[in-house]
Amino acid sequence: MLGLEQEEEGRIEYENICRKDENLTTLLFTMHNEGKDVCSSCEETTTIICCNRCGNAVCKLSTCSTLFPHHRNTLFVICNGCSETIYDKMKPVELADVDKLTLLKKKIKTRQASK
């Protein structure tokens, strides 16, 4: 029974974090938008912001762009076209590579601890 309560608390905490992220993203979009224009993805006239990679005008719909809170209260925007291009360039990490990364992380931690 206790496990279910902890799981429920974890789910609620995760939902609260997601809401805060959505609110922050909306606030940053409002602060940094570039006015009204035609979105290059959905072709609707709406409030837009430029993609940080290609410069296309996109709206904040999840079907048109992905928005990331960035440093100094800025917003990093990737249009879905660029997102697909980036995804196509990604390669899956094999299990052997994960073991090497784990070893590298341990070495880095021990070096930082010794300083």
**Residues 6+ positions from 103 with CB-CB distance below 8 Å:** none
User: Percentage of the chain surpassing pLDDT 70?
Assistant: 83
DSSP 49-107: EE-TTT--EE-S-TTTEEEEEEGGGEEEEEEHHHHHHHHHH--PPPHHHHHHHHHHHHH
pLDDT digits (tens, 9 = 90+) for 81-115: 999 999 999 887 676 677 778 888 888 888 877 66
Residue 66: half-sphere exposure toward Cβ, Cα within 13 Å: 9
- Asked if 40 and 29 touch (Cβ cutoff 8 Å), the reply is no
pLDDT at 1 over 50: no
What is the rounded CA–CA span in Å between residue 35 and residue 93? 41
